[in-house]
Amino acid sequence: MGSTVIEKIIATHAGHSVNAGDVVWMDIDVRSARDFGGANVVKNLQANCADKPVDDRERTFFTFDCNAPATSAGYADNQQTCRLFSRENDIKVYDVNTGVGSHVMLEEGLVVPGAIVVGTDSHLNIMGSVGALGQGMGDVDVAFVWCAGRTWFTVPETMRVVLKGTPGPAASAKDITLAVIKRLGSKGALGRAVEFSGPAIDKLSLAGRITLASMATEMGAISAFLIPNDEVVNFSRRRSAAEPVVVVPDTDAAYVETIEIEVDGLAPQIARPGSPADVVDVAAVAGAHVDSGLIGSCTNGRFEDMATAAEILHGKQLADGFVLKIVPATSEVYDRMLDEGLIKVFRDAGALVHNPGCGGCAAGQAGIIGVGEVQVSTSNRNFPGKQGKGDTYLTSPATVAATALAGKLTVPQAVSLDGIIPDGKYGWATRKAPAPTVPRPAEAKDGVAGAKGDKPTSLKGRGFPLVSGDAFIDDIDTDMIFHNRYLHITDVAQMGQYALDNLDGYKDYSERAKKDDILVVGKNFGSGSSRAQALDCFVSLGVQCIVGQSFGAIWLRNAINNGIPVVIAPELGTEFLKEGDGLEVDLTTGTITNTASGKSVKGQPMFSVQMDIYQAEGVFNYAVKKG
């Protein structure tokens, strides 16, 4: 049986062949930490490997993009903590004037086809746009990689998503992406790698590929891969000293599932407030009042996105009272917008143009929205409270620009898969000379071994289910668990008071929780960002174990690497327990028993590496670092 793309990439970095389900140790090419997670990465490094905290300085970076520049004392302190650490250890900081870290790494040639990059960014699957593996991880996870140069990984199953047909003339890459999420939903690719193919994929520009790969997170995917076309290969060749090596699947590769999605004649799409998966045609909601808009984010902050919006806005004025925020992804994009006159177009139309960065996510520099405010945004998430207390629609740059002129949701005119209005008269599709090349990093080093302890494998405690009525609350994302307004907090002891305070029905959870509780959750718990605080807040409250039907992949890794026992039990139902029932969880068999009723549910036992890390009380104790 042949191999999929992710199996081939991991095999290259593990030094042996791999199959889905294998737990392997693999070398990492590039390691990064963002501003909101960086200070905690530093804290973990100083606590666990102060003698040699950085395995390879040439491949290790900080990227400040979530809050750029810092808008609070907490963020400012965290960023300065990272700067001081970088000076002491001679590593590079892509500071607040640089832009979205994942985009910068692509522009700098640090990430090329077939590479593996990890960092505290849940949208690092953007790297699939060039055929590389990007993996968002939590603070402990990333700190371990900085120190050891490698990490353990469970090789995921791969599914194929084949797009059939030719999208309509007004459909862009964002519209294709939303159509895919509509079909798959927020859990359709949970824990899987996704390989995209089809004529519509082949025609996507790099900017369009970034859009699709970025939002694989919102499908629950571990990663997404688009086989590089000539544009991507040439981009990587110009940006890196290494010749790109494109990884393609074998013709007899084993896929867990193949899904065909019809996009023929696809019209502009939009996700209604509350979920990226609640997608309809823009025409279905056209005419709805909108107060503000944002064009930017890691999903739609490329020059092509800006050029599309500028074509629509040129010579026109925003609707009376409408606030439009423009946030380029990187300083390279910003400079080109300045050189080619786009910034003047936006300013003349009445828009605000911000410095490069993430924009509205994580309480970023572009600001957030208030109660009752309706926003239309090109970003990737619109969970309640994600970008403020108002409502957010997700859509394409063209739809945002058209809506900004009308003051109400409006179907845009024709665009192309390059994100440019066909036959645009302003010539903004012209490409600039490539940026200076950056040599590709050398191969990673070895240096990890196992360790064990004698922690109990049978746990007893009070069950605490997260339910609404008689059903589990599915898709509890990290903003519901630990909202982004608290991300500047680095002291675990202070995190518990904010646990679940953005989840309806559980805003008083921290007062109701008790030490040694066993938290019981539904499907896709912990989806969303890579923030370790979404685990640490439960640690702060003394929760001893978490069981659930399924978990977001990054959140699950955070729990495992922190030594917190987690048991997956897909058949778990709400009828099994009520709040306060005693539970006993056998970590070796996965059996969960209600000690009041005597009923049991069979879950999955903790796998070998997970058990070893639990026994060692965390991945740093489990692993022996070598120079």
pLDDT mean over 437-463: 60
Q: What is the pLDDT of residue 316?
A: 94
Q: Is the peptide bond before 244 cis (omega within 30 degrees of 0)?
A: no
Tell me whether residue 274 is exposed, middle or buried, using C-beta atoms within 10 angstroms of its C-beta: 0 to 12, 13 to 18, 19 or more.
middle
pLDDT for position 624: 54
Task: Give the pLDDT of residue 50.
Answer: 86
429: amino acid identity, one letter? A
Higher pLDDT, 369 or 523: 523
Q: What single DSSP character describes residue 16?
A: S
Distance from C-alpha of 473 to C-alpha of 480, rounded to nearest angstrom: 11
**For strand 458-465 and strand 518-521, is the pairing parallel, antiparallel, or unpaired?**
parallel
Give start and end residues of each alpha helix (H) in 340-379. Answer: 342-349
Q: What is the number of other CB atoms lying within 10 angstroms of the CB of residue 488?
A: 22
Q: What is the mean pLDDT of residues 198-208?
A: 94
Vertex 586 angle, CA 518 and 546, to 5°: 25
What is the predicted pLDDT for the residue at 438?
Answer: 42
- Banded model confidence at residue 364, pLDDT cuts 50, 70, 90: low
Q: Name the band, by pLDDT with cuts 50, 70 and 90, for residue 429.
A: low
Question: Domains in the chain, start-ordered, CATH in brackets?
Answer: 5-262 (3.30.499.10), 269-406 (3.30.499.10), 458-622 (3.20.19.10)
Q: Is the pLDDT of residue 442 over 70?
A: no
pLDDT digits (tens, 9 = 90+) for 48-83: 988 889 999 999 999 998 888 888 888 899 999 999
Question: Looking at residue 449, what is its pLDDT?
Answer: 35
Looking at the predicted structure, is the pLDDT value of residue 454 above 90?
no
Mean pLDDT for all residues in the chain: 90
- pTM for this entry: 0.85
Give pLDDT tens digits for 305-352: 999 999 999 999 999 999 999 999 999 999 999 999 999 999 999 999
How far are the Cα atoms of 21, 219, 409, 619, 627 from residue 624, in angstroms, in the given order?
25, 35, 56, 10, 10
Alpha helices in 299-330 (DSSP H): 303-313
**Mean pLDDT (whole number) for 563-588:** 93
Angle, vertex CA 184, rays to CA 180 and CA 185, nearest 5: 105
